[in-house]
Amino acid sequence: MLVQKRGSSVRGSAWPRRLQKLYCLSVEQSQRTRQSYLGTMPEHGLCCLLLSLVIIVSCSLQSLASPTYRFPRFLGKFAGQTESHPQIEPQYETQYFEQRLDHFSFAELPKFRQRYLISTEHWLGPQRLGPIFFYCGNEGDIVWFAANSGFIWEIAPQFGAMVVFPEHRYYGESVPFGSKDEAYKNATTLSYLTTEQALADFSVLLTELKQNLSCKDCPVVLFGGSYGGMLAAWMRLKYPHIAIGALASSAPILQFEDIVPPETFYDIVSNDFRRESPSCFNYIKLSWGELKSKGQTNNGLEQLTKTYRLCRQLNKTEDLSDWLDSAYSYLAMVNYPYPANFMRPLPAHPIKEVCKRIDDCPAGTSILDRIYEGVNVYYNYTGEAECFELDDDPHGLSGWNWQACTEMVMPMSSSKESSMFPTYDFNYSSFKEECFKNFGVTPRPKWITTQFGGHDIHGALKKFGSNIIFSNGLLDPWSGGSVLHNISESIVSLVTEEGAHHIDLRAAGPDDPDWLVEQRTIEIKLIEGWIQDYHEQKKAAYSM
Amino acid sequence: MLVQKRGSSVRGSAWPRRLQKLYCLSVEQSQRTRQSYLGTMPEHGLCCLLLSLVIIVSCSLQSLASPTYRFPRFLGKFAGQTESHPQIEPQYETQYFEQRLDHFSFAELPKFRQRYLISTEHWLGPQRLGPIFFYCGNEGDIVWFAANSGFIWEIAPQFGAMVVFPEHRYYGESVPFGSKDEAYKNATTLSYLTTEQALADFSVLLTELKQNLSCKDCPVVLFGGSYGGMLAAWMRLKYPHIAIGALASSAPILQFEDIVPPETFYDIVSNDFRRESPSCFNYIKLSWGELKSKGQTNNGLEQLTKTYRLCRQLNKTEDLSDWLDSAYSYLAMVNYPYPANFMRPLPAHPIKEVCKRIDDCPAGTSILDRIYEGVNVYYNYTGEAECFELDDDPHGLSGWNWQACTEMVMPMSSSKESSMFPTYDFNYSSFKEECFKNFGVTPRPKWITTQFGGHDIHGALKKFGSNIIFSNGLLDPWSGGSVLHNISESIVSLVTEEGAHHIDLRAAGPDDPDWLVEQRTIEIKLIEGWIQDYHEQKKAAYSM
């Protein structure tokens, strides 16, 4: 029933005529698969049917007391690990651009150097209005995002496009105050790490770049995944004069305040496991209690240290819970249909594999031993690990946690009924206290929606804005906070049932399923349409 | 020929169907009058045919050396004079709201109280989604703007609308750091006086207000004149989720960089005089040389002091030139077709009256004496002045000059051929130096267009944005930097040939010419359309 409602709603939406055929195929196909696992899901409303919870983090500035805080976790932490297994090795030049620290005041502050990667190899040049493909760098080293966004590099030649990957301020090499230590020192030095400043960086950089390359009329197309996808969508909305369109992949721009239920993220993670195996889901659901009981016994922490092959003695069970929670949540994000090495080397359909290991243990195996077998898939698929470090964030997440504690306040709960995680209710007062303790800053939880909207986004943008693709895979726990229905003729939603976190931005490969090939084809057609419209408009203006 | 081009271009634009009839009437009528004075005008391009130059100012922080700097001058200076002759006396409550000083960083800064005037007398209330009419306060005391924007108060009852007039930060009572002296002390304290911060103030205030009044779904319509009109247009573009439409009256959002020729403002002022009387135009054009020569003679400054009945001894002729320049430019702005007391008490068609005085002097009257007779209309129409103070800015313009020296860099020149003012070429280097000398700040002349667009605004917004009215009177020298053609079905331009600076926002009166009555009728219809569309959309969403 629920499924029918969603299906018919999507199909009823306005859709660019040139793509109606392709899109209908895509919807019908996904309808079939959808029914296989949605039957048991709770209903939260039209946009957020499947949905659930989020994550956690051992806070980098100081360890958080129980109850564990659930900071929304994106992928940026892995972007520190540029050496590890890039998906592709794109060719580009590395450049630097001097930026103001505060674009929105005239306060005298030190400037900083923003790094950007640029390739003009396939660019048509200014005369032919060659497009500029601009990736909105997110919370990590831009080299890693460039290496893991093969789609953009692959399609650039057919568009004759220049490719630019600017780094987000305060990440990678683009840190103010001379060093990361100085930049991350306190709330005063961190205070300019905001989305609005990052968007202004991109806009100033693009304006200068276009001027220097004498291509002020060249159309800019924005790309971004995850937080970068949010930036791409917001930038198209805020700077329509600078970019003609945006592909915002897995961009949870609605994961704020009460726009979607706070259980959204963790419910989706849980459902990703349940659809593979209800028993696996149950083992995990039971494991938290087992863990807690074990930890309270004599030598319990020692035994857990041994069972889970930890490199250091476990101090409290919450650290282990966080580590497991983290694994499940990331597994849901990277639940790709082919073997991949995005954050870690993993097999195809990794959740299926995890559940197989958990379920297939000999009868009589304890729950905690089963969980160990399962989580080994995530943390040690290559079998090379001798022991495990629970702090899975060696590169520091404080930049993202600062953002989560200031503007990017994404309430995360997990419900007793639908989630396999420990029950947890987001409590803003405690969250606020924790942020103040960690960073000396008070969050502004309503600022993002004041600045960018979100409440009744369909109403607000139905006759405003254009040329945005929101692409989402429903396996991705972030999909629940994203735009899952078309808003207008040209602000559209591309939903794939079997997709995970911004899978469409990854390089094409021999194992890509048909729906992914098809999704990318649709995206290319839409972008071609934007550029074609732009050229026609220019031509009409010239001939006036 | 020129006239035909403009006329046919406007008529060819898309136009809301419901208003086609009204609009065509309006265009045809204005076509007739347009031909009476456009014949002699220089051609600058499609958007800026009629146009010409701006103004000046005795800089408040320190006197500027020759060449006199031409800071763009709006009307805010008069908004200090709240006691003088309000057009109407609207009923409202005065409230205060605590605002962040920097919305775009998390720096710890003192908050400030923003004043706003509010009337809910005619409001339909939250149940019936009563609209909120929100005036974007500009560079002065908000009480004055409220008193001089009768249109909004007059139409509120028929819409069942609440009326809100928020004050712009750093003006009136809404100054940070406890006092104006502290707020205006130096570049550091002034650094948060920017348009982006002002728009964020409005957005935060509206969001809170709607929440407190339990009317989060009530549609907001923005209004603004002059700089306030720019804010209204920009706010609709940047915060479409907060306001459903904007009436931007006399809003020169294109008066930046090289979007319109720098001569635009002063050319329009000059043409306003020439259309009344070519001889008057010539007397004024010749007067600057006379003034300079006289000033260089023995006792010249004393004689000028006497001729012009100055209260203090003239130190240099530039001060007198500025005073005259100021009079002509403001006369062009307030060249209303009925007696008005907007900035000063003036007769109907004041430029006609000035030229009559200049032209009608007995044969043999010197040019400087004629000029004195003319300028008396502006500075002393009531005949009460015993002598004249050349510093016509007793309330201080430093807030606006700060804005002109930071973001609002509007290049102003006057050409030898088409202008009646002394020839002057805007020179950015000197301007920059002057700003640094006055305020210790370096302007960012490209920031406004990076932030809000402006270059190729028709192309950028043709398929983006909606529900903005740009209304302009072609007698207004600021009209040259505004949007004079329809951009899309719902971003439209209302042009009146005989209108001056945001005349449509003023209260209706018995002397209003038909075209003004008609213009306001069109505006009301358009706003009704926005609200009706909004209600229909809401209704459709509820019934889903």
Name the residue in chain B with its Cα closest to that of A534. B459
List the catalytic residues of A: 226, 476, 501
Q: How far is B455 from chain A (nearest CA, A)?
A: 8
Task: Say if CB B252 and CB B464 are below 8 A apart.
Answer: no
- Picking from A188, A447, A460, the nearest residue to B240 by CB comes out as A460
- Pick from A105, A194, A239: CB nearest B194: A105
Mutation target among A241, A244, A432 for the B interface, most CBs of B within 10 A: A241
B100 close to B35: Cβ distance less than 8 angstroms? no
Helices in A334-397 by DSSP H: which ranges?
Answer: 350-359, 367-379
Q: B169-217 pLDDT, tens per residue?
A: 999 999 999 999 999 999 999 999 999 999 999 999 999 999 999 999 9
CB contact under 8 A, B450 and A102: no
Residue recorded with tokens 């259980």: A263
CB spacing of A460 vs B538 below 8 angstroms? no
What does the pLDDT read at residue B9?
26
Closest Cα to residue B287, out of B420, B103, B196? B420
The pLDDT > 90 percentage for chain A reads 78
| Cβ-nearest to A450 among B108, B204, B447 | B204
Contact A126, A70 (CB under 8 A): no
**How much is the pLDDT for B342?**
82
Q: Is the pLDDT of residue A39 over 60?
A: no
CB contact under 8 Å between A106 and B187, yes or no, is yes
> How far apart, in whole angstroms, are the C-alpha atoms of residue B268 and residue A366?
87
- Cβ-defined contact of A457 to B241 (cutoff 8 Å): yes
Q: How confident is the model at residue A540 (pLDDT cuts 50, 70, 90)?
A: confident
CB contact (8 A) between residue A463 and residue B490: yes
CA angle, A407 as apex, A404 and A412 as ends, to 5°? 45
Higher pLDDT, A250 or B43: A250
* Residue B164, min C-alpha distance to chain A (Å): 18
Of residues B539 and B78, the one with the higher pLDDT is: B539
Q: Specify which residues A116 forms β-bridges with.
A: A95, A166
Show residues of chain A in contact with B464, CB under 8 Å. 240, 464-467
**Catalytic residue flag (residue B226):** yes
pLDDT in tens, A165-217: 999 999 999 999 999 999 999 999 999 999 999 999 999 999 999 999 999 99
Q: What is the pLDDT of residues A380-415, one digit of tens each?
A: 998 889 999 887 554 444 799 999 999 999 999 999
H helix and E strand count, chain B:
19, 10
- Are the beta carbons of A156 and A119 closer than 8 angstroms? yes
Q: What is the mean pLDDT of residues A353-371?
A: 97
Q: Calculate what percentage of chain B has a pLDDT beyond 90.
A: 78
Nearest CA in chain A to B234: A238
State the nearest Cα–Cα gap between B102 and chain A, in angstroms. Answer: 8
Q: Do A459 and B541 touch (CB under 8 A)?
A: yes
Over residues B288-293, mean pLDDT: 96
Q: What pLDDT sits at residue A1? A: 23
**Cβ–Cβ under 8 Å, residues A70 and A54:** yes
Query: Are A194 and B450 an interchain contact pair (Cβ–Cβ within 8 Å)?
Result: no
Q: Which of B104, B188, B449 shows the shortest C-beta gap to A104?
A: B104
Kindly determine whether residue B197 and residue A104, on different chains, have CB atoms separated by under 8 Å. yes
**Residue A55 confidence (pLDDT) above 80:** no
Model confidence band, residue B230 (pLDDT cutoffs 50, 70, 90): very high
pLDDT at B66 over 50: no
More confident call, A393 vs A245: A245
Please name the residue of chain A whose CA is at the shortest distance from the CA of residue B202: A450
pLDDT band at residue A541, thresholds of 50, 70 and 90? confident
Mean pLDDT, residues A340-364 taken together? 93
Q: Is B68 a residue whose pLDDT tops 70?
A: no
ipTM: 0.87
Catalytic residue among B30, B149, B174, B226: B226
Q: How much is the pLDDT for B390?
A: 87
> Does residue A19 register a pLDDT over 60?
no
Mean pLDDT score of chain B: 86
- pLDDT (0 to 100) of residue A393: 54
pLDDT greater than 90 at residue B15: no
Quick one: pLDDT at residue B332? 96
Distance between CA atoms of B67 and A279, rounded to whole angstroms? 84
A461 pLDDT exceeds 90?
Answer: yes
Which SS3 state, helix, strand or coil, does residue B407 take? coil
Higher-confidence residue: A246 or A43?
Answer: A246
Round to whole Å and give the CA distance between A385 and B198. Answer: 55
Q: Which long-range contacts does A98-102 make (Cβ < 8 Å, 24+ apart)? A: A99/A169, A99/A201, A99/A204, A99/A205, A100/A204, A101/A176, A101/A192, A101/A197, A102/A192, A102/A197, A102/B102, A102/B104, A102/B105
Chain B's closest residue to A205, CA to CA, is: B450
pLDDT given at position A246: 98
Partners of residue A473 on adjacent β-strands: A496
What mean pLDDT comes out for the span A319-347?
92
Roughly what angle, to the nearest 10 degrees, separates helices A317-333 and A350-359?
A: 130
Q: What is the pTM for the complete model shown?
A: 0.88
Judged against a pLDDT cut of 80, whether residue B330 lies above it is answered with yes
Q: Is residue B442 exposed (0-12), middle (13-18) or buried (19+ Cβ within 10 Å)?
A: middle
**DSSP track, B60-128:** SSSPPPSSPP-----SGGGGG-TTS--S-----EEEEEEE-S-TTS------EEEEEEEE-TT---TTT
Band of pLDDT at residue A52, cut at 50, 70 and 90: very low
Residues of B in contact with A99 (CB under 8 A): none
A-interface mutation test, from B6, B105, B237, B402, most A Cβ less than 10 A away: B105
- The answer to whether the Cβ–Cβ distance between A446 and B207 falls below 8 Å is yes
- What 3-state DSSP class applies to B311? coil
Which residue in chain B has the smallest CA separation from A191? B106
| Closest by CA position to B237, among listed B18, B495, B490, B527 | B490
Mean residue pLDDT across chain A: 86
Q: Is-contact A411 A426, C-beta < 8 A?
A: yes
DSSP A35-102: TTT-TTPPP--SS-SS-B-------SSSPPPSSPP-----SGGGGG-TTS--S-----EEEEEEE-S-
* Residues ≥6 apart with Cβ < 8 Å to B240: A237, A453, A460, A461, A464, A465, B465, B466
Whether residues B240 and A453 touch (CB distance < 8 A) is answered with yes
